[in-house]
Amino acid sequence: MRTPTRGDSIPLLRLERSLMARRKKIYEGKAKILYEGPEPGTIVQYFKDDATAFNAEKKDVIDGKGVLNNRLSEFFMNGLTQIGIPNHFIRRLNMREQLVRNCEIVPLEVIVRNYAAGSMSKRLGIAEGTQLPRPIVEYCYKDDALGDPLVTEEHIAAFGWASQQDMDDILSIALRVNDFMSGVMLAVGIRLVDFKIEIGRVFDGDYQRLIVADEISPDSCRLWDIETGQKLDKDVFRRDLGNLTDAYSEVARRLGVLPNTNVTKPTLIN
Ligand code: UDP
């Protein structure tokens, strides 16, 4: 069981624990646990403090990360809803949990890149930070044992992971999410270098729809300060660049998701 973090109160922790004990766990991943939701078609997504990198070769528990990602994913998903991009988010339940729509995850990591970084820089020998001529969308097959290999639309179609219609929709969703996220970040002095989303299928009778699922948080984006180039994402953990929660808190503070603790209280004169 995790240790209490700033902002947790003890009674709330007890309540959280007793609720968790009664719930049926559906799946435990590297950073989240999924529980059966209170209504049919819903699940509860619990954000852990665990951080992993390099296909879980590097692991740590980062106090407070889950709380920040829960809030940030809520913020981004609500923004997507505002501009009509369907997504799984229903409502936040507490500090670490949110209620989301149950969906069938398409077994692809959909990556959108605006600047070269990470695996693309290594693969193609392009210096990190080089602006790409246009956003580039890549697909990786979700399989931890294989290390999530890069695949083409040919593989996706041939192996039936998604239809051509799905791929058209996924591309359009990915580019819209990119425009939204780039704009939101730019407004607070952050460059959206790249990010990963996952897509889920929901069924309304015979009709199938694709929605943004999983999470959108600094765990799954590269975020650089526009002025200084400072990294404000999971690379801080991957590359041992400092305190991860400080970086995520900075993103949350700039977006107004966390109160600005640096603001001095107004004082009355006379
Ligand atoms: N990413 C992710 N989960 C993964 C792989 C990548 O969230 O399993 C994100 C990563 O944080 C980055 C983007 O996708 O924002 C592109 O990652 P990249 O392919 O460069 O891989 P990495 O260098 O992180 O191994």
Classified by CATH at the fold level, domain 9-101 comes out as Phosphorylase Kinase; domain 1 (3.30.200)
Return the domain boundaries, the chain. 9-101, 104-244
CA 235 to CA 219: how far, in whole Å?
Answer: 9
- Say what the pLDDT of residue 270 is: 46
For residue range 26-69, list pLDDT tens digits in order: 999 999 999 999 999 999 999 999 999 998 999 999 999 999 99
Ranges of residues in the chain whose predicted pLDDT is under 70: 1-21, 260-270
Give counts: helices (H), strands (E), the chain: 7, 14
Number of other CB atoms surrounding residue 201 within 10 Å? 15
Query: For residue 55, which atom of ligand 1 is closest to its CA?
Result: 8
Nearest to 223 by CA among 215, 213, 233, 212: 233
Does domain 104-244 fall into CATH 3.30.460.80?
A: no
User: Whole-angstrom Cα distance, residue 120 to residue 128?
Assistant: 9
Candidates 50, 105, 109, 111: which one to mutate for ligand 1, based on the most atoms within 8 Å of Cβ?
111
Residue 227 structure tokens: 């002025």
pLDDT value at residue 232: 98
Ligand 1 proximal residues by C-beta, below 6 Å: 109, 111, 117-120, 148, 194-196, 220-222, 234
Nearest to 176 by CA among 47, 75, 257, 81: 81
Atom of ligand 1 nearest to the CA of 193: 15
Tell me 87's DSSP state: B
pTM for the model stands at 0.90
* Count of C-beta atoms within a 10 Å radius of residue 82: 9
